[in-house]
Every structure is written in structure tokens, then in C-alpha cells.
Amino acid sequence: MSNVFQEKSPLLQVSELKQHFELKKEVIFQPKQVVKAVDGIDFDLYPGETLSIVGESGCGKSTTGRSILRLDEPTSGDVLFKGQSLLQMNKKELRSIRGNIQVIFQDPYASLNPRRTIRQMLEEAMAIQKVLPPNKREARMLELMNHVGLRPEYLERYPHEFSGGQRQRIGIARALAVNPEIIICDEAVSALDVSIQAQILNLLKKLQKEFDLTFLFISHDLSVVRHISDRVMVMYLGKVVEIADKSSLFNKPMHPYTKALLSAIPVIDETKRGERIILKGDVPSPLNPPTGCRFHTRCPFATERCSQEEPLLRELSATHSVACHFAEELFTS
């Protein structure tokens, strides 16, 4: 069964995206050091779905989000929004397209101007994207506040007067103000306590239904990802190791890394606790990633071949792709 969302043509197509950062030389004549934060990834985002990117720190999940919006200028590759290349646009075109692709960050306090009231922020966003004539903006603001569950009188307040959860609601209201089609949520609920996190997750799901939103949801928390996603993409050291629809990824992971990642999560229900795979060592430095399969240094099943030949992302079924030489042998039984 293929995913219902994939019947439509993709909203966003990312191909061969690379984001390399050159490090400053500490010593003169030192050879150039390059961090390959994102190193050639491909994926499509379909209208109405939630695609999550998961992985541990330094795997390149946030960098991917930032490259799509050109908050960092990508090194190479292409990003198409409805067939138009975002990477070839000039500043003016890009600014107008950013109305369609909004972003919510982890720390809402850092992304809200402390000296502006909520009203000023929402007004500015609408003015820049020219979403409504000025006389209709007041009504729209009240509507937005209502959608995200904040009282209308809060419009006159400043960010410091709100709690963490409320600030995240403001971030969401601001993103919605310009009628986006895609919202990139970069660790949007990671800083919140579980009871507040639940409120925001429910809100995001509700808004997605109401406004036909498409989410690219970046998170390190697999339980949250399971709750919100339709499809999940797992990254390791700048590469996609597995991408699949939610149920096959969680029920039948086909990459040893995904398997280890899932088993490492502490769960409260003893009966659901599977055998834990403890990975040895730390994530290698992205400055000098291992040859061949990047996971081979920590993989319990690695062979000679893994250290030499890089596995490509290949399709196992219409909704499940994996980058491992031995996926079938290891996990089909």
C-alpha cells in the first residue's frame, strides 16, 4: 500500500543537497578543514503530510531545514518548491516564496523580538508578505490568536510576559499569519515540559487539518515523531540512512542504526521493552567521517565491505528505503 499523500505531486523536492562548512584555519598553511554537515540527501515532501527528520546531534537534521530556506547557502544540490528552484531565486523572489514556507524554532524566546508586542510582530509579518489589505488585518489577528489558543488581549503584550508554551503558540501564530503551505518545525517542542508539549502537539495536529498544512518536523525525540508523523527520515552523519512511512519504520526498522536508536529509548511500559542494543563509542566527527558506510564504526553487523563501499539509499518497497548493504539479510526472517 503506498502512502495516500504520495499520490499527489510533491510540494518540495530536495535533490543531492549538500551543505559543507569550511572551518577557519587555526594555523597558517593548515590544510582546509570541511565539515560535511549535510552530504547529498534526497527526499520529497508531499502536500498535507508530516515528514519528520530524526537523528542525534550533529547528524545534519537542522542544517537540512536551514538549507531549504537558504538561511545557510547550500553548497550544491537543488530544492524545488512546486517545480521552481529555490536555490536559483534572487533575493526578492526568495522573500516572496518564504511566505509559503515558514519555520518555528526550538527556543521561541530567541526568535521573538523582545521589544515588540505580539500585535506588532503579526502586523509586520503580514505587511512584508502583503497577505491582506491593512484594514482586514485586525480581524485576522484576532482569528489567529483564537486558532492558537491565546486570549485576544495578549496582542498588546511583550514576549517576556509569556511562559514557554505560550511563546511557542505565538511563534506558531506568526508562522500562520502569512498563510504558509509548509511549516518547518525545528525541535519545536523539545524545550517544553511534557504536559505543555502535549498541548502544542495537539495544536499542531489540529491546525494541520484546518489549514491543509504540510510539516517538515525536525526532532531528536522519537516518541514525539511517532505521534506527529506520516513518514520518517532517519539521518546519521549528514546522510539519510532510512526513510519510510511511520508504521513500517517503527514496527520494522531495516537499518541497524534505526534499530539501535529505537531500542535506546527508555520506555515506561516494561512489556514493550525490547532487547537493548548498546552502541559502542561516540558519533564520529563530521570533519572526518568514516569511509564506506558512515555507521560501520559503531555497527554491530559491520563487515569488510561496509568499510569500503558506501551503501546507497535503495527502495525495499514503495514506501520504505534504506541505505545498508545487508538490510534484507539482517532483518527479514
Partner 1 sequence: MEKEVVLEVKNLKTHFISNKGTAKAVDGIDFVLRKGETLGIVGESGCGKSMTSLSILRLIPSPPGKIVDGQVLLKGQDLVKMSDEELRKIRGNRISMIFQEPMTSLNPVIPVGEQIAEALRLHQGLSKKQAWDRSVEMIGLVGIPSPEKRAKQEPFQLSGGMRQRIMIAMALACTPEVLIADEPTTALDVTIQAQILEIMKDLQKKIGMGIIFITHDLGVVAEMCDQVGVMYAGQIVEHQEAKNLFNNPLHPYTQGLIGSLPKLYEDQEELQIIEGTVPSPYDYPEGCRFAERCPFAQDICIQKQPNLIQFDENSKVRCWKYSDEWQDSLAKEVVAP
Rule CB under 8 A: which residues touch partner 1? 56-57, 163, 165, 193-199, 201-202, 205, 220, 222-224, 226-227, 250, 260-270, 272-273, 276, 278-279, 282-283
CA distances from 222 to 2, 109, 190, 202 (A): 23, 24, 11, 16
Nearer to partner 1, 128 or 284 (CB): 284
Instruction: Show the cell assigned to 203.
Output: 495544536
Give the count of alpha carbons within 13 A of 324, CB side only.
30
Nearer to partner 1, 138 or 193 (CB): 193
| Beta-bridge partner residues of 242 | 234, 322
Burial 206-240 (b: 16+ CB within 10 A, else e): ebbeeeebbbbbbbbebebbbbbbbbbbbbbbbbb
The gap from C-alpha 244 to its chain's centroid, in whole angstroms, comes to: 15
Nearer to partner 1, 135 or 195 (CB): 195
Cβ of residue 35: shortest distance to partner 1, in angstroms? Answer: 16
The bridge status of strand 50-54 relative to strand 214-219 is parallel
User: Contact, 68 vs 12, CB < 8 A?
Assistant: yes
Collect all residues with Cβ–Cβ distance below 8 Å to 18 and sequence separation of at least 6. 36, 38, 39, 40, 74, 75, 76, 77
Nearer to partner 1, 139 or 194 (CB): 194
Nearer to partner 1, 140 or 157 (CB): 157
Three-state secondary structure string covering 125-172: HHHHHCCCCHHHHHHHHHHHHHHCCCCHHHHHCCHHHCCHHHHHHHHH
Cβ of residue 267: shortest distance to partner 1, in angstroms? Answer: 5
Nearer to partner 1, 4 or 139 (CB): 4
Cβ of residue 54: shortest distance to partner 1, in angstroms? Answer: 10
Cβ of residue 276: shortest distance to partner 1, in angstroms? Answer: 6
DSSP reduced 3-state for 219: strand
Nearer to partner 1, 153 or 270 (CB): 270
Cβ of residue 4: shortest distance to partner 1, in angstroms? Answer: 16
The bridge status of strand 320-322 relative to strand 314-317 is antiparallel
Cβ of residue 271: shortest distance to partner 1, in angstroms? Answer: 9
Cβ of residue 272: shortest distance to partner 1, in angstroms? Answer: 4
Nearer to partner 1, 94 or 201 (CB): 201
Cβ of residue 231: shortest distance to partner 1, in angstroms? Answer: 14
Nearer to partner 1, 204 or 254 (CB): 204
Collect all residues with Cβ–Cβ distance below 8 Å to 330 and sequence separation of at least 6. 254, 256, 301, 324
Residue 65: how many CB atoms within 10 A of its CB? Answer: 22
CA distances from 60 to 15, 36, 56, 117, 237 (A): 15, 9, 9, 34, 7
Cβ of residue 219: shortest distance to partner 1, in angstroms? Answer: 11
